[in-house]
Amino acid sequence: MRFAVDMLPDLVASLRAAVPKLGLAETAPHVKLQLTTGEVGCTPCHYDTSYNDPTSLQLSILIYLSEGWCPEWGGELQLVPFLEPPVLLAPSFDRCVLFLADRWLHRSLPPRGPGVQKHRWLLTAWLDGTRVDAPLWNSSQLAPSLQRLLAPALHRELYLEALRQSLPPYALAREALLREQRQQIEELEKDETLMGLLEGLRELRAQAQAEDADDASKRRRTATEAVRSSAKLRHGPSSGAPNRSSASKCWCKLEFQTAKGLDEATW
């Protein structure tokens, strides 16, 4: 907790100066130290600001504190940008993630393998601000409060899956919470005005996911072609000797794209 006491105020001051558009308040941060372990050591889909109980929380800061955590152990943070494919971030030691509390749907995934028995420490700080639910960079998107209202129906499968994973199968509350979640989704879908909007949003989301899958396929093909080109440069087209003439003229370029929306997620 030394970070929360000694260093967090300096970080907050730096953020206020670097991103004044966020309107971060002068109030003290809200801080929580969390320990998770076991097969259900994960969280359901949620926003840090509720659609029906708005707060002044503007920015969420997550700092992962589990030394030696291996990526294959799971427990990733899953960020779900509006109408974009999810972004997975491993809970690597000393990783810091910042995102807007009022408009970034997220959850943590269950641990896997040896990670089930490991302790996963997370320090979370929330900063108050004056721009909650206000337009920031992309004013063409739906209002954050409307995004939060529609999210359970827009991401129905994701919400239900995350809820199942975060509670033991034998827990009495599990079925009750799942039933309540389904009822909430059904109520949204019964509203004719909202249902028309939902159908359009689902279509846009499917289009974005298809484009992302196509981009991923292109990146894999580019990487495969680069590896093959590199092999030809090392061994030559017809013999085991290096082809120095070709090597001096050929450049292999790999292009990688960051996940859509991740830069905006950072702020």
How confident is the model over 179-218, as pLDDT tens digits?
999 999 999 999 998 999 999 999 998 998 888 777 766 6
Classify domain 2-143 by CATH number.
2.60.120.620
Q: 34 near 108, Cβ under 8 Å?
A: no
Q: 188 near 198, Cβ under 8 Å?
A: yes
* Distance in angstroms (rounded) separating the CA atoms of residues 88 and 84: 13
Q: Mean pLDDT over residues 130-135, rounded?
A: 89
Q: Residue 224: what pLDDT?
A: 54
Please give the C-alpha separations between residue 58 and each of 90, 92, 102, 195, in angstroms, as whole numbers: 23, 24, 6, 29
- Partners of 87 in beta bridges: 79
Among 92, 125, 109, 91, which residue's Cα sits nearest to residue 164?
109
Q: Mean pLDDT over residues 111-134, rounded?
A: 94
Q: Residue 225: what pLDDT?
A: 58
Please give the C-alpha separations between residue 153 and each of 45, 49, 159, 182, 190, in angstroms, as whole numbers: 12, 17, 9, 9, 11
Q: Positive or negative CA dihedral for 141, 146, 149, 153?
A: negative
Please give the C-alpha separations between residue 66 and each of 7, 72, 90, 121, 166, in angstroms, as whole numbers: 19, 14, 11, 5, 20
| Residues contacting 114, CB < 8 A, separation 6+ | 70, 73
Banded pLDDT at 61 (limits 50, 70, 90): very high
Q: Mean pLDDT over residues 124-143, rounded?
A: 84
Q: Mean pLDDT over residues 132-152, rounded?
A: 84
Asked if the model's pLDDT at residue 245 lies above 80, the reply is no
Q: 77 near 108, Cβ under 8 Å?
A: yes
Q: Positive or negative CA dihedral for 29, 34, 39, 40?
A: negative
* Distance in angstroms (rounded) separating the CA atoms of residues 204 and 193: 17
Rg for the chain, CA atoms, rounded: 22
Asked if the model's pLDDT at residue 13 lies above 80, the reply is yes
Share of the chain above pLDDT 90, in %: 53
Other residues' Cβ atoms within 10 Å of the Cβ of residue 75: 25
Q: Residue 127: what pLDDT?
A: 93
Asked if the model's pLDDT at residue 238 lies above 60, the reply is no
Tens-place pLDDT, residues 32-45:
999 999 999 999 99
Asked if the model's pLDDT at residue 136 lies above 90, the reply is no
Sequence ranges of the domains in the chain: 2-143
Banded pLDDT at 260 (limits 50, 70, 90): very low
Q: Residue 264: what pLDDT?
A: 39
Considering only residues 234 and 62, tell me which one the structure prediction assigns the higher pLDDT: 62
Other residues' Cβ atoms within 10 Å of the Cβ of residue 5: 9
Asked if the model's pLDDT at residue 125 lies above 50, the reply is yes
Share of the chain above pLDDT 70, in %: 76
